[in-house]
Chains A and B, each alone.
Chain A
Amino acid sequence: MLARSVTEEERVTALRTWLWGVETNRLALVLDFARPGASPAWELWPGNVVEAVVARFPGTAQLRVIVAERSGEAEVGDAPPAWADLGQVARARGEALARDPWTDRWPVAVASVVPEVHGGNWVVTDRDGRQMALAGDDVALWRLLASSGGRPVVLLAEWAGDSLVPLGAWTDSGMVVL
């Protein structure tokens, strides 16, 4: 379980849970909808590992799944799998867009990045100096900055438009859900 996000769509609230298949080495998305304002009932918690069989929805992207069968309890996992830099993230997103141009949000799990704020502009820099803007609400951004303290973290985010919306971070003290 990598991260989760909530966005208010036109008439519903979309709840996205991003999963990484430890055995399949593939991304998966559990997409749920709720009435606006309803508090989401998350079954899967970021950073946890659970043994499950998922069923993929048809379509070219093959990203969306439902959890068909779960066995055993969720356990707290180690550092989440992550791309090594933002260039790899962009390539993976590019491949997904090439398969399905309707891919609007793309999960980002990227290692060794440092969040920073310069005069109100939020950015994240990877190991080689690639930089992307961060977007999101102030509380999440400051929490992310404080969880890092200027040291590299594994950033979990969604690529939306031109920026990354942070959802979590893996730090020295474990998973931080933003």
Chain B
Amino acid sequence: MSAEHATSLWDELVTAAVIGTDRRPFAGAKATGQLGEALAGVRERGLLATAAVVWAYREAGREVPITGVRRSEAAPPDERPLLTQGAVRALTVILEDRMFRAVLDEWLALAVQAGGRLPGEAGPKLLDAVRADQRPAAAAVVGPLAAWLGARNPKWKWAEAAEAQVGAERARALLGAGQRPTTGLFASLGPDEAEAAAVGAFRDATAAQIGTIVASIPAPWSAAVTDAGLEAMARIIEGSDARPLPSLRDLLSHLALIINPAPSGPIAALMSSFEKIPDKHAAIRIFWAGSLANFAATAGFRASLHKEFQ
């Protein structure tokens, strides 16, 4: 019994099933060799039992034929050392969490400066995520693989033409752009101060808890975490009647965030302005809680990012 015979027998069984055994009673299948033996060993000789045996016979005997298709060319080798695992993990966080997206410039600059190679599998997500002005840096970090992928995916066609090298000067310029704070209120904080503020404010909060907060910001507000948005919020707070509110801590713990009971510095200043927001502006309060969480998480993340590249 050859594979071709088993295939034609299978086709017969399918036809019989399509027509239906009421209209044309199934007379049993004729087979020789091992398939014949297998069928002889089955007591039930109806259509379904026969189909089960023939299916198993065909599947178990399946081969993968040599088709001799020529492989296409591999990407040019990239001899640079891999970026550290911490640096790669940080990129994953930046790309997966909208909250950290603003740190991408900084990550790219640090990676270009470090001169390391991104593991291949992390390339597609980075190529997908970058803005037009970030493309040269992304192509440099991904290396020759970027152009190779660009030849295979129209979305990354640009990578075929991207400059392969990003000079040190360009990297410094990127780093400058990356360090531009994402919120105007914290313009003066460097990575170390930012870390101190973040650690103080969110001593025990996990990334997941902070994520919960940000996810809970109503959509129209969450899209507006910009310098201008925050300045507008500050004006609203200054103009509002300073009626005491349920404490920020209550609100934040309600949102599953544990906050340091005795914050200091910029966070304390922000919290005190926060507490002036009247009840009627519930959405603004949530927005502030989100912004605060956003800032602290981003600041802490930036500080740890620099350590990953040291």
Contact = CB atoms under 8 A, between A and B. Distances in A.
Interface stretch (B57-65, B191-199, B278-286): B57-65
B74 A131 contact: no
A81 to B, nearest CB: 19
Given A142-B124, A148-B120, A150-B75, A94 B65 contact: no
Contacts of B169: none
Given A86-B64, A116-B71, A173-B82, A98 B120 contact: no
Contact of A149 (B55, B145, B153): B145
Contact of A94 (B62, B71, B119): B62
Given A148-B120, A149-B120, A173-B82, A101 B56 contact: yes
Contacts of A90: 62-64
A101 B62 CA distance: 13
B121 interface: yes
A128 B71 CA distance: 11
Given A146-B120, A149-B148, A173-B82, A130 B71 contact: no
B37 interface: no
A160 interface: no
Contact of B120 (A97, A114, A147, A178): A147
A36 B64 CA distance: 35
A132 interface: yes
A146 to B, nearest CB: 4
A123 B68 CA distance: 13
Given A125-B69, A131-B69, A149 B60 contact: no
B67 interface: yes
Contact of A116 (B59, B72, B75): B72
B148 A95 contact: no
B73 interface: yes
Contact of A144 (B66, B69, B121): B121
B132 interface: no
Nearest to A148: B120
B74 A176 contact: no
A147 B64 contact: no
B121 A176 contact: yes
Interface residues of B, number: 32
At the interface, is chain A mostly helix, strand, loop or mixed?
Answer: mixed
A143 to B, nearest CB: 4
Contacts of B115: none
Interface string A135-147: 0000100111111
Nearest to A87: B64
Contacts of B55: 101
B71 A114 contact: yes
B65 A146 contact: no
A176 B60 CA distance: 30
A90 B59 CA distance: 9
B64 A89 contact: yes
17 contacts: A86-B64, A87-B63, A94-B62, A95-B60, A97-B56, A97-B59, A97-B60, A101-B60, A131-B64, A132-B64, A145-B152, A149-B74, A149-B145, A149-B148, A150-B75, A176-B121, A178-B121
Interface of A: 86-87, 89-90, 93-95, 97-98, 101, 114, 116-117, 123, 125-126, 128-132, 139, 142-151, 169, 171, 173, 176, 178
Given A101-B59, A146-B123, 18 more contacts: A90-B63, A94-B61, A94-B62, A125-B69, A126-B64, A129-B68, A130-B64, A139-B124, A139-B125, A142-B124, A145-B124, A146-B124, A149-B75, A149-B148, A150-B72, A169-B121, A173-B82, A176-B121
